[in-house]
Amino acid sequence: MKDTFHLLLILLKGNKIKLDKEELEFQLLSHPTYPSLYSVANVLDHFKVDNIAVNVPVNERTLELLPKVFMAQVKTKKGLALATVENDGNDYHLKTSASKVEHQSREEFLQNFSGVMLAMEQDPTTAVQGSKSSFRGLWKILLIGITVLSAIGLLMLSASEPFSLLHLVLSIIGLVISTAIYKQEQGLETILGDAFCSDTSEKNDCDAVISSNGAMLFGAFKFSDMSLVYFSGLIIASFLLSLQGMTYLFPYAISLIAIPITIYSIYYQALVLNKWCLLCLTIVAVLWAQVAIAIINIDVVATFLFVTTETIITVFAFMTAITLWYFLMPEIGNSKALKENKISFTKFKKNFGLFEALLNKSEPIDTSIAGVSEMVFGQKNAPVDITIITSPFCGHCKPVHSLIEDLIKQYSEGIAITIRFNVSTDAIESDIVKITLRLLEIYIESGASICLEAMHDIYGEMTTVPWLEKWGSCEKPDQYFQILNKQSEWCLNNKLNFTPEILINGRSFPDEYDRSDLIYFIEDLNENLEEDEAVQTSYPSCAY
């Protein structure tokens, strides 16, 4: 399901570009056309990564011009598929999934290449962007590593014999693998899952085994959940017994219970499904290793005959693990469901056809004001004309100003953003009038970039007094007051009494959307308007 996402990660890594992995995954999976090549190109545009998706001639000359790493559409046994391609100078290395690599000669690649490809440019500014999810991942690994090492160190100091320490290490390994199986079952990616389960075949299919009826005990308990509880209980019991300086006889005895379960697992995979789950077999190997430790310490039988302190501690440890599982597992499931719902909802919201239909429901307004020089950012006379009615003292206008900055950074060549102030002009000495007059003056006298900086201050955290100290007061208030007054009159005449208000080519931005969603539709708006313009040019009205 997420092969295209993994291919994009490989492509970015090959071009030494770092992006926030979580945000990248969300933007790609929520794109209306995912997993198409268009969705990849569109998401790269969203992250301001220069890229080009084209259909090129399939010949030797083209291969000479292609970059070292790119994404291409290639022929596979299952039909056309996307692949990340790396050229080492002689051969072509194709990845159609996270871990499956196919090596092809120049001639073979020419035969399989459809001509459709996507390449990106290594932009130094983009390449150094930090990834929040990467930092979180590093911190997570660091914290887990320190915790595990500290725990092992504690047990080494308190354990009376090496078998108990080995038993604990095997329990930790078992817990890690069990977590990978659980995530594989939930459709989530892990390093272990990609390593053991990504290459499916007639005999090797983790998903088929994990989702089979045989993966349930009595039709009610999943082996993946039982495995998590089992190893968690052993780990907790090991710590408690170690801290008390007690023997590990009872945990050893419990290990013997796993023997029939491992035999059943192998039987079911080998004779019923005829498929193997390598992760499951690894768990079996861990369990057998623990059984071997229990057999070496054969006096475990004594633990079944007497209720001892060790028994009570071990039972407490397992009940703690079961309780944690009982309360945490539903929350993890809800978290996954919420993430999937968020992706589905965002994909629905990004549907341009729906947005366009809602936009066209509103009656168009003539946004021009004769004889008035207004603040316009971007490219004047661009096909997408956005009018934003705002006020510096409007709390809800602050997020819209952030949107303006994002739109200018990403689409400055294809849009025109007109800033129109709707403020009361009854008192020329009021703070709001002073600020708006000065903003108009800064735009006319100093240019758009300086004005945008001044707007950023007043729409940010800066209050009136420090803002006026920094930017000063308007030197020609009478000249700019006329502009402000006409803007206010225009708002009144068109019954636009509230701020912020966004008009796209004279039509009101749909109430059903968050204003920040506008950035998703700029490219589609541009394409539609350019197509309409081309049609009008091709079919001019006839004069009789």
H, E, C per residue of 225-262: HHHHHHHHHHHHHHHHHHHCCCCCHHHHHHHHHHHHHH
- The distance of Cα 25 from the centroid of its chain, to the nearest Å, equals 3
> Which of 431, 425, 404, 428 is closest to 416 using CA atoms?
404
In this prediction, residue 542 carries a pLDDT of: 33
Cα–Cα distance, 340 to 336 (Å, whole number): 6
Q: Residue for token digits 């998590």?
A: 228
> Which of 456, 428, 424, 429 is closest to 442 using CA atoms?
456
On the question of pLDDT at 150 being above 50, the answer is yes
Q: What is the mean pLDDT of residues 353-371?
A: 91
Q: Residue for token digits 């749909």?
A: 510
pLDDT band for position 543 (cuts 50, 70, 90): very low
In this prediction, residue 252 carries a pLDDT of: 80
On the question of pLDDT at 391 being above 80, the answer is yes
| Mean confidence (pLDDT) of the chain | 81
On the question of pLDDT at 534 being above 60, the answer is no
The amino acid occupying position 457 is D
pLDDT band for position 406 (cuts 50, 70, 90): confident
pLDDT over 70, % of the chain:
84
The amino acid occupying position 286 is V
pLDDT band for position 188 (cuts 50, 70, 90): low
Q: Is residue 393 within 8 Å of 455, Cβ to Cβ?
A: no
In this prediction, residue 445 carries a pLDDT of: 92
In this prediction, residue 490 carries a pLDDT of: 93
48-62, 220-234, 251-265, 296-310: least confident range: 296-310
Cα–Cα distance, 36 to 75 (Å, whole number): 15
Query: What angle is formed at CA 369 by the lines to CA 396 and CA 417, rounded to 5 degrees?
Result: 45
Q: Which residue has the higher pLDDT, 49 or 207?
A: 49
pLDDT digits (tens, 9 = 90+) for 265-312: 888 888 888 888 888 888 899 999 988 888 887 665 454 545 577 778
> Which of 498, 492, 529 is closest to 386 using CA atoms?
529
Mode of pairing for the β-strands spanning 92-95 and 113-120: unpaired
Options 3.40.50.720, 1.20.1440.130, 1.10.357.10, 2.170.120.12; CATH of 140-341:
1.20.1440.130
In this prediction, residue 122 carries a pLDDT of: 60
End-to-end CA distance of the chain: 59
* Cα dist from 508 to 141, 254, 280, 356, 512, whole Å: 48, 68, 57, 11, 11
In this prediction, residue 360 carries a pLDDT of: 92
Domain 3-127: CATH architecture, name and number where available: Alpha-Beta Complex (3.90)
Is residue 473 helix, strand or coil? Answer: coil
On the question of pLDDT at 12 being above 70, the answer is yes
Query: What angle is formed at CA 17 by the lines to CA 12 and CA 20, rounded to 5 degrees?
Result: 85
In this prediction, residue 137 carries a pLDDT of: 57
In this prediction, residue 209 carries a pLDDT of: 79
Give the domain ranges of the chain.
Answer: 3-127, 140-341, 362-529
Q: What is the CA radius of gyration of the chain?
A: 32
pLDDT digits (tens, 9 = 90+) for 425-453: 887 788 989 999 999 999 999 999 999 99
* Cα dist from 61 to 42, 56, 64, 350, 528, whole Å: 28, 10, 5, 39, 35
For 146-254, where are the E strands, in sequence order? 216-217, 221-222
On the question of pLDDT at 123 being above 70, the answer is no
On the question of pLDDT at 250 being above 50, the answer is yes
Q: Is residue 58 within 8 Å of 115, Cβ to Cβ?
A: yes
5-19, 155-169, 443-457, 500-514: least confident range: 155-169
The amino acid occupying position 524 is D
Mean pLDDT is highest, among 245-259, 379-393, 400-414, for 379-393
Mode of pairing for the β-strands spanning 375-378 and 101-104: unpaired
> Which of 258, 216, 214 is closest to 233 using CA atoms?
258
Q: Which residue has the higher pLDDT, 419 or 532?
A: 419
Domain 362-529: CATH architecture, name and number where available: 3-Layer(aba) Sandwich (3.40)
CA atoms within 13 A on the CB side of 449: 2
pLDDT band for position 327 (cuts 50, 70, 90): confident
pLDDT digits (tens, 9 = 90+) for 452-500: 999 999 998 889 999 999 999 988 888 889 999 999 999 999 988 888 8
pLDDT band for position 130 (cuts 50, 70, 90): very low
Q: Is residue 501 within 8 Å of 507, Cβ to Cβ?
A: no
Q: What is the mean pLDDT of residues 505-529?
A: 88
Cα–Cα distance, 500 to 518 (Å, whole number): 14
CA atoms within 13 A on the CB side of 7: 33
Q: Is residue 421 within 8 Å of 409, Cβ to Cβ?
A: no
Structure tokens, 179: 């977590």
CB atoms within 10 A of CB 141: 10
Structure tokens, 124: 């130094």
Q: What is the mean pLDDT of residues 105-117?
A: 90
Q: Is residue 408 within 8 Å of 439, Cβ to Cβ?
A: no
